[in-house]
Structure 1
Amino acid sequence: MTPRRTRLAALALATPLALGGCSSLAGLHDAPAEDTQGQSISDSAGAQVTQRVLGEVGVALDAEGKGSAKDRKTVLTGPALEAADAKVDVEQVEGEGAALAPSAEPTVIAVSKGTSWPRTILATSQQDEEQHLHVLVADSPRSQYRLYASVPMAAGATVPALAESDGAVEVPTKVGSKDLQPVARWAKAVSYPAPKSDPKGVAVDDPFSSALRTNAAKQADRLGDLASYKVSHQPSSDGMVFPLADGGTLTITTLTRTDTISAGEDAKELTLPDELTDLVGEDTVGDRLSVQHLETVAVVAPKGGDVTVVGASEQLSSAKGS
């Protein structure tokens, strides 16, 4: 049989990353006396800080040329900075700055407890008809709050009640593999080929998980016997974990999704979709293609309930062929 050229369909994103905002300034306030067991920042001040930071993020994401990387690092950290830098690296920046502009003042869900550092704000905001979940972090008394993560929430998704006292929660400063187990279980459930049986206690009917599984199956079907197709989701070793009132957790972290396509004996070469050609440096590869995306997820693991993704985004980060 004569080897055939195989044109690859674009590796579909489950949902786009939305980061941005319009510039705004928060008012100045006298510093209140701190309560070592209370909120590290009041809800009203936290809402103003969130709105200001989202505005600064929007300006930084629209910046170009020399100094733009420093601008991003000034207002972004963690997953948000990784995603923004990846977007620049793969040259996908096209006026992203307006995407986070809140149509109303953000709503603070909770803040970290006490006077220690780092300090955290968990908030939501509305952009058009889409709700976003944000985490902001200030590392020390000398550092400003920066955007740690921001994900669009699934339609109808909610964040369960947190284990808070007077609006403040205990946010662990160190996160280990045990804390990230709910995310690891979800990662296994959305891998491809799909596991023979879904991991117990993991829901995969949310829009993001459903899109990942559906798109993977479609890509494999297009390739048929000409190439093998695998998708893995590798959780990060770090993240932000918020305790829920029922004893469960809300975890916000990143994963690296890797799509691997290996040509079979009947495939002469793999023809790449346009968006991957510049990254790989060729419009075809002979044997193997590996594409990576950075995924940012908000995962709820209620005590005794199913692990569920309530918000997510992903960003193409690299591609290489051989």
Structure 2
Amino acid sequence: MRSAPTSRLVAGIAGFGLAAGALTGCGFPERVVGLHDAKVETVDGAGVPEATAVTITQRALAQAGAAFAAKASDTKTHKAILTGPALRIAALPDKYTDEAGTSLKNPATPTILAVSAGRDWPRRILATTLVDGVQWLHVLVSEKPAEAYKLWVTVPMLPGSSVPALPPLSTGTDLVEGDDGLVADPPAVLNAYGHLLDIPAPKDKKWAKLVGVKDPYATGVLAASKAQVKALGKLGTFTRQHDPETKSAESMAFRLADGSALAFGQQQRVDLMKPTSKAKRLDLPSDLASLAGEKSVTKQLRLDWLLTFATVIPKDKAATVIGVSEQLRDIEAK
């Protein structure tokens, strides 16, 4: 029995070129120690001056690059400078090359886009770097005064995308809680986006009201899915399903100048291909075969992906995804 076509599951995505430290987070003391009471620090404005934020970000990205280069089992090195979505990527098996780590091997000088408003903790820094023609967004966090800033997320921007205006650096930027002033909260928007890219396609059209799928990544995924289904024909079945990466649907969102938000979060995606009775066996492309340790499958091929997103969520219109990183983290072939 002849095998089914061996089109790579995400060939439509691989072709896209995505474009567009160790300082502690202590900041400044609330009171100056001396013989007399000092004036209480002004609580308005940015929590970290721009020059300081640049230094913090430069050192944090350099250390993050070294952490990504460490083995997946080196959790001590990872946890010293990475947290949240970035930590999950660093923990992936060594055989899967991570895009984030590659971008931080020689980090460029960052541009600071936003810093947390006020003098309380946690504190956040939103920065961007340009690496080999690709614009990257980075979020650093410091949870308490004695804790160094860590890289929470790093994601490449999509071709032709941009970040809307943020509040002035001198005033600082607030984080958005839930769906405050937005069409929906970040987890709901990412959930809708994932459903719209699922195969089989969802019958419920309500998701399209929350987020668009005309960005380069979405159009690429949908085209690749269509091509895969067509290539398999009656010889196999293909499904693609998105779900939140964590039970709490971890996310972070910065308030933009117009009241909308720039949000970050992760999802997991599972691609599943199975031969039908007419095929008996599906041969794998050489790259997948090398990672899977099998040249063909008779039962199924399962690919597990970790997806990281940057999304602009308006007050009353559909959101737009402006940054995506997709990372293969497991292959099961049998």
TM-score of the pair, normalised by structure 2: 0.80
* Alignment match, 1:21: none
| 8 Å CA contact 1:59, 1:97 repeated in 2 | no
Assess, with a 3 A threshold, how the Cα gap between structure 1 residues 179 and 92 changes in structure 2: closer, same or farther.
closer
Q: State whether structure 2 residue 2 is matched by structure 1 residue 8.
A: no
Amino acid at match of 1:9: S
CA distance in 2, matches of 1:55, 1:278: 31
Residue 144 (structure 2) pairs with residue 132 (structure 1): no
Describe the shift of the 1:203–1:161 C-alpha distance in structure 2 as closer, same or farther (beyond 3 A): same
**Aligned match of 1:83 in 66, 78, 89?**
89
**Percent of aligned pairs sharing the same letter:** 33
Q: Read off the aligned partner of 1:194 and give its amino acid letter.
A: A
Cα RMSD after superposing both structures: 3.3
**Which has the larger displacement, 74-83 or 29-38?**
29-38
**Shift in CA distance, 17/32, structure 1 to aligned 2, threshold 3 Å:** farther
DSSP 3-state at the match of 1:45: helix
Which letter maps to 2:67?
A
Q: Secondary structure at the match of 1:140?
A: coil
Alignment of 1:111-190 (within 5 A): 111-162=115-166, 166-171=170-175, 178-190=185-197
| 1:203-242 superposed Cα distances (whole Å, 9 cap, x missing partner) | 2222211111111111112111111111122133111122
The equivalent of 1:101 in structure 2 is 106
- Is the Cα contact below 8 Å between 1:120 and 1:136 reproduced in 2? yes
- Structure 1 unpaired stretches of 5+: 19-23
SS in 1 for 2:294: coil
| Residue 70 of structure 1: aligned partner | 76
Q: How much has 1:291 moved relative to structure 2? A: 0.8
- Give CA deviations for 1:29-64 in whole Å, capped at 9, x if unaligned: 994765433322112211111111111122223335
Q: CA deviation at 1:249?
A: 2.1
User: Do 2:265 and 2:308's aligned partners in 1 also have CA atoms closer than 8 Å?
Assistant: yes
Q: What one-letter code is carried by the residue in structure 1 that aligns with 2:97? A: Q
Would you tell me which structure has more strand in proportion to its own residues? Answer: 1
Matching of residues 264-279 of structure 1 within 5 Å = 264-277=276-289, 279=291
What per-residue deviation string (whole Å, max 9, x for no partner) do you get for residues 228-287 of structure 1? 111122133111122233332221000101111122121212223334335544332222
SS across alignment from 1:276: helix
